[in-house]
Amino acid sequence: MNKTILVTGGTGYIGSHTVVALQEKGYKVIIADNLANSEKEVIYNIEKISHVLPQFEPIDLANEQACEALFNKYSINAVIHFAAYKYVNESVNNPLRYYKNNLISLLNVLNEMKKHNICNIVFSSSCTVYGTPDTLPVTETSPVKKSMSPYGNTKQVAEEILEDNCKADRHLKVISLRYFNPIGAHPSIKIGETAKGIPQNLLPYLTQTVIGKREFLSVFGNDYNTPDGTCIRDYIHVMDLAYAHVCAIERMLHMGSDINYEVFNVGTGKGYSVLEIIQTFEKVTGMKVNFQFKGRREGDIAQIWADTSLANKVLKWEALYALEDMLLSAWKWEKELAKS
């Protein structure tokens, strides 16, 4: 019988791509999402790709009763927990909102998992837990540094909550995936990134500038200690990131592991500067990016990229898409959005 995966935050950017990747592998998916930063319509776009409409529950997991009702309603084999707020700046201005939403929803989910004997959870973590790394690339054993933002701290604390619960309950299996910078859209261009309001991340802001929704892209800082002075990140195609979740689920459900708390970096292992992103975007799309250098953005680190050898070896996963594919699909998606 097909295994059932609860995907919290499944109408969001990474969540929706992961739902498609799970369905491709034959998993039955239940999405729980409060639509705080996504639209219900995403489930129909998922159906257009996979020909399977995922079950959808429009609930807020920070609401204990709603979370309880969800777990009472379905028989679930594993959970992928994406549902969380994700903006660094917003979290600095409103830390309570972030701690409350991101941590209470995790606690509610874990509590229901325990009550229902559900032992497998994949958690959306972030490379933000490394803070400003001392050496590059970062490996999973690189130190977790004091977080630069309440958002980042919610990820660190969530990892600690999960690890403590694994120590207390040897049946619980947790895989924390530390994401680097996901960009791009599904090759069908039916799902992609749809930030509500003004985008805060580089790619949606860049594509919105090129399509004419924004006047210019601000490049935050050109005086960093990097070859061209702009920040370096490890950009990963969102479908590669989605497949990493499938590999994590397969490891938990089918292969087993003696260790019940595991952490993996999910990036490409390559770093690109903001200027390299702009130049490559211009090359692959033939479009001009109107940008201006501005001061550094608070909380930004100069550079980070991943050592992905652990995920390559243990999860038997690797990133397949090149930067050119990521940028081209992001542009196609922006043009698709402009049609509606």
Catalytic machinery residues: 151
- Residues paired with 120 in a beta bridge: 173
Q: Which is nearer to ligand UFG, 54 or 133 (CB)?
A: 133
- Smallest gap from residue 80 Cβ to ligand UFG (A): 17
Q: Which residue is nearest to ligand UFG (CB)?
A: 231
Query: Of the candidates 222, 242, 248, 226, which has an alpha carbon nearest to the alpha carbon of residue 311?
Result: 248
Distance CA 266, CA 242 (A): 10
DSSP 59: -
Q: What is the largest CA-CA distance in the chain?
A: 56
* CB count in 10 Å sphere of residue 168: 8
The beta strands (E) that lie in 9-85 are given as 28-32, 55-57, 78-81
- Smallest gap from residue 142 Cβ to ligand UFG (A): 13
- Smallest gap from residue 330 Cβ to ligand UFG (A): 11
Q: Which is nearer to ligand UFG, 74 or 220 (CB)?
A: 220
Q: Which is nearer to ligand UFG, 24 or 300 (CB)?
A: 300
Task: Kindly report whether the peptide bond that precedes residue 95 is cis, defined as omega within 30 degrees of 0.
Answer: no
- Please name the residue that has the structure tokens 């081209």: 328
Q: Which is nearer to ligand UFG, 112 or 307 (CB)?
A: 307
- Smallest gap from residue 203 Cβ to ligand UFG (A): 7
* CB count in 10 Å sphere of residue 192: 26
Interface with ligand UFG (CB under 6 A): 86, 88, 126-128, 181, 200-202, 205, 217-220, 231, 233, 274, 297, 300
